[in-house]
């Protein structure tokens, strides 16, 4: 790694100055002349037949330019996975949750749009509703979608090895159940979109999304525009964390209304609408059994999952598969059985969120591991070290751990937290806990069945040779992908980071599936590297001709070019460059040929200097049903140790210390890797201790605001000791793999295990509020 010049540094993000000065434009910061404002009418009832919609009064309201319902917008079914398209833009026969979209209006200003909503008259016939996932599965429960009896949206049954037989051979089998709660992503930027048709009649959609490519496809399908006539542009995005990984009714409504009116149309969700749109973390129920040998060797795992999906599928099929497949590692198992059900309820739909499908089941499993270790009298860290996989291992469900620094992560947090001097030695009310996890570096397959490249990239060098611009459809959503791509391009081209620009998030630039499943560093990174290599090779080839040297002898680093490590005789190229640019401010100088001069030569020889790169994973995974979910070219992994204080009188929990180690293969940018780790822990801490979207008895969200739905503040988060492990991933660009999601995996169970260590009480239900812990402690005292 010593030869790296740009990668693995702490270079500041390339977009940071624009963001620090308020110049960075997000979707809601955009405006166009003549722009109309839109608003969506949403159902006040959780489950009801729509008998009649009367929009006649709205159409007469001054300032209203268009009203659309299912009648105008049509009934094209859409969703995330083509196998479960179960949504239409507007409800037509019935509404299925409080917030289901019924109509949209465009008006001259926001106030007029909102006034118009009040004038739309909808006659509903209320139906019995079901809000609890267990109730929804019972016989006689209200049916939410006619096509899905028992409200079962998807079910998965997988078995690897013979679980029953393996369990029978175990010395100890331990059971555990766990219930998590619906978490909101709570990104600070609400969804926002501005749609207009350009002079060529193309739909241009500026929108706050993680996935411009998928939005382009879905909007084209639903609004019925040829996909070539839809361009999606992602301005700066204020966080996504998963729920912005699919097309929204907001985007489709704006597109429709822009076509209806011939004017630009803008809409931004209120914070309440962000909660109503949701697509965030499911509620999970886990029922698990772990079978082990006396010496602590793990043998078999049985895992049952029930997921509360809400009213529509969204990403849910993948979610219910992930809850099983992401327990295949990082421990060796001889057998694993998984049964999962995703259930419809009359609540907002849940989707993908950081650590997709894996977080709650990882929490349950890592608690179960600790319970088992205690029964066997084995230290939890030792228990894990004795069972972990290493590089080259393949999980029982056929996931290939092509690099896995699990051992290094566990040892790093053990030593970094001074575990040996603390575990079992802390006073009552103080506790220490640990947990591990792993996650994909990009999904092995696109959402729709296709042989498409997952990422393509174009790099174009300016005609003077001074600037390389990376053009990509990938989505910078705050995670730092623009900077990562700039660094990969700079490293590969052998130029300074400051000489690279990135234009991203635009479907006109390249194909990129977007920012989900922690895929861009690896996949867009590969394509960026390949494009840069192509440029470097072109330049080397022209230079070799010009200098009469061997292209293999030419090297590029720090913006200068060397021939067999020496300056070479480049005088002719330099004098030509200086002559061409007479009077310019920055003539090339120094004892070596600059990249700029070399790239200019290539331009003169071959025209505009462009490189293209592409990436798609090889065929991955097994051949069983659902084998695709969980496959990835590489897996990141992590371990954490958490220390807590518990007020034994009140149950109040303070997280005092967190030590986190993550194997990201190679840290493209060390500061940003730490940032992903610390952010993941913060999100996990919130989910563990206080986050829960609550509903009343009629399915209305009780806490659809960031005041009443509490996420961690600066006062809740401790400083995290952040340790980067770099195992060098053979399938990643320069050895890099994921960090953005895997880092959240151990957080909840590490906190829960620490709370147990502090109190002797196992809490099996989130969030662990003071009240819940207090009641659990009281119950135990009484027993």
Partner 1 sequence: MKSIIRMTVNGESVEAAVEPNRTLTQFLREDLGLTGTKHGCGLGDCGACTVILDGSAVNSCLVLAVQANGREVLTIEGLAENGKLHPLQDAFVEKGAIQCGFCTPGMILSAKALLDSTANPTETEIRTAISGNLCRCTGYQKIVQAIQTTAQALQGTEVS
Q: Which of 286, 180, 175, 174 is nearest to 748 (CA)?
A: 180
Q: Which of 387, 672, 731, 759 binds partner 1 (CB under 8 A)?
A: 672
Q: Which of 5, 12, 127, 148 binds partner 1 (CB under 8 A)?
A: 12
251 vs 482 by CB, closer to partner 1: 482
58 vs 237 by CB, closer to partner 1: 237
Q: Tally the C-alpha atoms within 13 A of residue 333's C-alpha that lie toward its C-beta.
A: 31
- Return the residues of window 681-700 that contact partner 1 according to CB under 8 A: 681-683
Stretch that binds partner 1, among 162-170, 419-427, 516-524, 704-712 (CB under 8 A): 704-712
220 vs 688 by CB, closer to partner 1: 688
Q: Which of 623, 697, 713, 782 binds partner 1 (CB under 8 A)?
A: 713
**Is the CB of residue 624 less than 8 Å from the CB of residue 602?**
no
416 vs 622 by CB, closer to partner 1: 416
Buried-exposed string 299-324: b where 16+ CB fall within 10 A, e elsewhere:
bbbbbbbbbbbbbbbbbbbbbbbbbb
**Is the CB of residue 393 less than 8 Å from the CB of residue 321?**
no
- Counting residues that bind partner 1 (by CB under 8 A) gives 57
24 vs 152 by CB, closer to partner 1: 24
62 vs 228 by CB, closer to partner 1: 62
Q: Is 678 in the site for partner 1 (CB under 8 A)?
A: yes
15 vs 411 by CB, closer to partner 1: 15
Q: What is the DSSP annotation of 668-703?
A: SBHHHHHHHHHHHHHHHHHHHHT----B-TTS-BS-
Q: Which of 17, 424, 587, 606 binds partner 1 (CB under 8 A)?
A: 17
Stretch that binds partner 1, among 8-16, 171-179, 289-297, 513-521 (CB under 8 A): 8-16
Which two three-digit tokens encode residue 510?
Answer: 């390249």
- Return the residues of window 213-242 that contact partner 1 according to CB under 8 A: 236-239, 241
- Return the residues of window 25-84 that contact partner 1 according to CB under 8 A: 25-26, 28-29, 31
**In the bound complex, what is the minimum distance in angstroms from residue 680's beta carbon to partner 1?**
8
**In the bound complex, what is the minimum distance in angstroms from residue 602's beta carbon to partner 1?**
33
Buried-exposed string 452-489: b where 16+ CB fall within 10 A, e elsewhere:
ebbbbbbbbbbebbbbbbbbbbbbbbbbbbbbbbbbbb
Stretch that binds partner 1, among 24-32, 89-97, 283-291, 547-555 (CB under 8 A): 24-32
Q: Which of 237, 234, 223 is nearest to 194 (CA)?
A: 234
**In the bound complex, what is the minimum distance in angstroms from residue 457's beta carbon to partner 1?**
22
The torsion defined by the Cα of 27, 514, 197 and 39, in degrees rounded to 10, comes to: -50
Point out which residues pair with 434 in neighbouring strands.
641
Which two three-digit tokens encode residue 626?
Answer: 């659902």
Which two three-digit tokens encode residue 615?
Answer: 């990436």
607 vs 707 by CB, closer to partner 1: 707
- The CA-based angle 130-132-699, given to 5 degrees, is 60
Give the distance from CA 405 to its chain's centroid.
Answer: 22
Q: Which of 386, 671, 764, 770 binds partner 1 (CB under 8 A)?
A: 671
**In the bound complex, what is the minimum distance in angstroms from residue 208's beta carbon to partner 1?**
10
Which two three-digit tokens encode residue 400?
Answer: 């290939």
> Could you count the other beta carbons within 10 Å of the beta carbon of residue 660?
28
**Is the CB of residue 192 less than 8 Å from the CB of residue 268?**
yes
- Angle of helix 670-689 relative to helix 359-376, nearest 10 degrees? 80
Q: Which of 711, 723, 754, 768 binds partner 1 (CB under 8 A)?
A: 711
- Return the residues of window 477-536 that contact partner 1 according to CB under 8 A: 477-480
Stretch that binds partner 1, among 69-77, 226-234, 395-403, 706-714 (CB under 8 A): 706-714
Q: In sequence order, which residues have a C-beta less than 8 Å from that of residue 108 and are 6 or more positions away?
A: 36, 37, 63, 65
Q: Is 763 in the site for partner 1 (CB under 8 A)?
A: no
The torsion defined by the Cα of 431, 436, 441 and 444, in degrees rounded to 10, comes to: -130
**Is the CB of residue 156 less than 8 Å from the CB of residue 339?**
yes
Number of H helices, E strands in the chain: 21, 26
Q: Is 466 in the site for partner 1 (CB under 8 A)?
A: no
Q: Which of 1, 23, 575, 580 binds partner 1 (CB under 8 A)?
A: 23
Q: Tally the C-alpha atoms within 13 A of residue 38's C-alpha that lie toward its C-beta.
A: 33
**In the bound complex, what is the minimum distance in angstroms from residue 12's beta carbon to partner 1?**
5
390 vs 703 by CB, closer to partner 1: 703
19 vs 605 by CB, closer to partner 1: 19
What strands lie across the sheet with 720-725, from one edge to the other? 430-440, 635-646, 653-663, 720-725
The pairing of beta strand 192-197 with beta strand 265-268: antiparallel
The 3 state secondary structure assigned to 286-310 is EEEEEEECCCCCEEEEEEEEEEEEE
**In the bound complex, what is the minimum distance in angstroms from residue 740's beta carbon to partner 1?**
10
Q: Is 269 in the site for partner 1 (CB under 8 A)?
A: no
- Return the residues of window 718-747 that contact partner 1 according to CB under 8 A: 719-720
Q: Is 674 in the site for partner 1 (CB under 8 A)?
A: yes
**In the bound complex, what is the minimum distance in angstroms from residue 701's beta carbon to partner 1?**
14
Q: Which of 717, 728, 770, 775 binds partner 1 (CB under 8 A)?
A: 717
Query: At 348, which helix (H) or strand (E)?
Result: none
**Is the CB of residue 286 less than 8 Å from the CB of residue 360?**
yes
Q: Is 13 in the site for partner 1 (CB under 8 A)?
A: yes
**In the bound complex, what is the minimum distance in angstroms from residue 4's beta carbon to partner 1?**
19
Mask for 176-215, x = binds partner 1 (CB under 8 A): ---------xxxxxx-------------------------
Q: Which of 229, 391, 553, 705 binds partner 1 (CB under 8 A)?
A: 705
Q: Is 715 in the site for partner 1 (CB under 8 A)?
A: yes
- For residue 372, the SS3 value is helix
Q: Which of 3, 22, 552, 782 binds partner 1 (CB under 8 A)?
A: 22
**In this structure, what DSSP letter does residue 358 have?**
T
**In the bound complex, what is the minimum distance in angstroms from residue 404's beta carbon to partner 1?**
25
The span from the CA of 244 to the CA of 352, in Å, is 9
113 vs 336 by CB, closer to partner 1: 113
423 vs 662 by CB, closer to partner 1: 662
**In the bound complex, what is the minimum distance in angstroms from residue 682's beta carbon to partner 1?**
4
403 vs 669 by CB, closer to partner 1: 669
330 vs 742 by CB, closer to partner 1: 742
Stretch that binds partner 1, among 20-28, 97-105, 283-291, 629-637 (CB under 8 A): 20-28
273 vs 289 by CB, closer to partner 1: 273
End-to-end CA distance of the chain: 58
Contacts with partner 1, residue ranges (CB under 8 A) = 10, 12-13, 15-26, 28-29, 31, 185-190, 236-239, 241, 268, 270-271, 477-480, 671-672, 674-675, 678-683, 705-707, 711-715, 717, 719-720
């Amino acid at each position: 790694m010593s030869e790296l010049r740009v990668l693995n540094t702490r270079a500041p993000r390339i977009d940071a100055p624009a963001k620090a000065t308020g110049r960075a434009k997000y979707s809601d910061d955009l405006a166009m002349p003549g722009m109309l404002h839109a608003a969506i009418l949403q159902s006040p009832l959780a489950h009801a037949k729509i008998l009649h919609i009367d929009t006649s009064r709205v159409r007469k309201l001054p300032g209203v330019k268009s009203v659309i319902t299912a009648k105008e917008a049509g009934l094209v079914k859409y969703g995330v996975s083509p196998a479960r398209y179960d949504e239409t833009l507007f409800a037509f026969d019935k509404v299925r949750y409080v917030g289901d979209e019924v109509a949209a209006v465009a008006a001259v200003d926001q106030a007029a749009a909102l006034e118009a909503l009040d004038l739309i008259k909808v006659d509903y016939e209320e139906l019995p509703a079901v809000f609890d996932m267990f109730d929804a599965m019972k016989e006689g429960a209200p049916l939410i979608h006619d096509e899905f009896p028992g409200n079962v949206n998807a079910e998965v049954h997988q078995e690897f090895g013979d679980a029953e037989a393996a369990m029978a051979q175990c010395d100890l089998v331990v059971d555990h159940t766990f219930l998590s709660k619906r978490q909101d992503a709570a990104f600070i930027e609400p969804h926002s979109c501005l749609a207009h048709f350009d002079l060529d009649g193309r739909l241009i959609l500026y929108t706050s999304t993680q996935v411009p490519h998928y939005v382009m496809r879905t909007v084209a399908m639903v609004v019925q525009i040829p996909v070539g006539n839809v361009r999606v542009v992602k301005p700066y995005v204020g966080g996504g964390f998963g729920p912005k990984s699919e097309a929204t009714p907001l985007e489709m409504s704006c597109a429709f209304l822009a076509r209806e009116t011939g004017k630009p149309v803008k809409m931004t969700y209120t914070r309440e609408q962000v909660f109503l749109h949701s697509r965030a973390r499911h509620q999970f129920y886990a029922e698990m059994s772990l079978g082990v040998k006396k010496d602590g060797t793990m043998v078999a795992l049985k895992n049952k999952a029930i997921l509360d999906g809400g009213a529509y599928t969204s990403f849910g099929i993948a979610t219910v598969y992930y809850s099983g497949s992401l327990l295949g590692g990082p421990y060796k198992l001889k057998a694993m059985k998984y049964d999962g059900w995703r259930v419809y309820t009359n609540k907002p739909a849940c989707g993908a969120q950081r650590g997709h499908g894996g977080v709650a089941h990882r929490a349950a499993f890592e608690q179960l591991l600790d319970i088992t270790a205690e029964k066997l009298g084995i230290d939890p860290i030792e228990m894990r070290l004795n069972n972990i996989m290493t590089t080259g291992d393949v999980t029982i469900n056929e996931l290939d751990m092509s690099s896995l620094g699990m051992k290094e992560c566990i040892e790093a947090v053990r030593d970094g937290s001074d575990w040996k001097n603390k575990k079992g030695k802390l006073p009552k009310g103080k506790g220490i806990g640990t947990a591990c996890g792993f996650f994909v570096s990009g999904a092995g397959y696109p959402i729709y069945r296709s042989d498409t490249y997952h990422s393509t990239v174009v790099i174009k060098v300016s005609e003077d040779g001074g600037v390389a611009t990376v053009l990509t459809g990938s989505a910078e959503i705050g995670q730092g992908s623009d900077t990562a791509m700039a660094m990969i391009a700079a490293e590969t081209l052998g130029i300074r980071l400051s000489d690279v620009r990135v234009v991203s998030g635009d479907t006109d630039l390249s194909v990129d599936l977007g920012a989900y499943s922690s895929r861009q560093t690896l996949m867009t990174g590969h394509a960026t590297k390949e494009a840069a290599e192509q440029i470097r090779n072109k330049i080397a080839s022209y230079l070799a001709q010009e200098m009469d040297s061997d292209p293999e002898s030419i090297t590029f680093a720090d913006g200068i070019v060397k021939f067999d490590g020496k300056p070479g005789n480049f005088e002719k190229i330099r004098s030509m460059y200086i002559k061409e640019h007479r009077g310019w401010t920055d003539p090339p100088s120094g004892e070596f040929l600059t990249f700029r001069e070399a790239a200019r030569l290539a331009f003169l020889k071959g025209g505009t200097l462009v490189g293209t790169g592409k990436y798609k994973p090889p065929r991955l995974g097994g051949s069983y049903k659902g084998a695709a979910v969980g496959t990835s070219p590489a897996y990141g992994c992590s371990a954490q140790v958490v220390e807590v204080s518990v007020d034994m009188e009140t149950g109040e929990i303070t997280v005092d210390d967190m030590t986190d180690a993550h194997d990201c293969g190679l840290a493209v940018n060390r500061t940003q890797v730490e940032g992903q780790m610390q952010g993941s822990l913060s999100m996990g801490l919130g989910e563990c201790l206080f986050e829960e979207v609550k509903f009343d008895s009629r399915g209305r969200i009780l806490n659809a605001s960031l005041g009443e739905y509490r996420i961690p503040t600066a006062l809740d988060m401790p400083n995290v000791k952040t340790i980067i492990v770099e195992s060098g991933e053979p399938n990643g660009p320069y050895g890099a793999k994921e960090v953005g999601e895997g880092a959240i995996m151990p957080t909840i169970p590490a906190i829960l295990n620490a709370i147990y260590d502090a109190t002797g009480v196992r809490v099996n239900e989130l969030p662990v509020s003071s009240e819940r812990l207090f009641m659990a402690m009281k119950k135990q005292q009484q027993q």
